Structure 1
């Protein structure tokens, strides 16, 4: 999978992986169909950061969720 390509499938994949890694029960508020090109790059940055870590503090999870919420609102 080439995540450098801005596709709906890639965005869906990254969102699902972030939700799994953070054990987020409700992540349905963020939909890949709502992302524009700039938001895709932001999502990719969040995904790469989350994928590269094995543990998260409460404050890190809160910050990540806030960023995902910002993508949803934009």
Structure 2
């Protein structure tokens, strides 16, 4: 899997992985279906940052989730 390619499969993978690492209790917040592929590279940058950290503090988790919310498709 080449995560540098913006595909629906890769988008789902990186969002699911971030959801696990950030220990999101409400999975609907990071439902991959609610993110548009046009924002893939911005979301991938957040994913890379999360992958590069050994530990993520609670304030960092909140900030990352808030940033991800900016890329959600508005209902």
Q: Do they fold alike, i.e. is TM over 0.5?
A: yes
Aligned length: 73
In structure 2, how many angstroms separate the alpha carbons of the residues matched to 1:31 and 1:24?
A: 11
Does structure 1 conserve the Cα–Cα contact (< 8 Å) formed by 2:7 and 2:37? no
Alignment correspondent of 2:55: 55
Per-residue deviation, residues 11-47 of structure 1 (Å, max 9, x unmatched): 000001001111112232344443132x100110010
Instruction: Give runs of ≥4 in structure 1 deviating > 3 Å.
Output: 29-34
Alignment correspondent of 1:36: 37
Tell me, yes or no, if structure 1 residue 69 matches structure 2 residue 69: yes
Please show how residues 17-28 of structure 1 align to structure 2 within 5 Å: 17-28=17-28
| Structure 1 unaligned spans of 5+ | none
| Structure 2 unaligned spans of 5+ | none
Local SS of the residue matching 2:20: helix
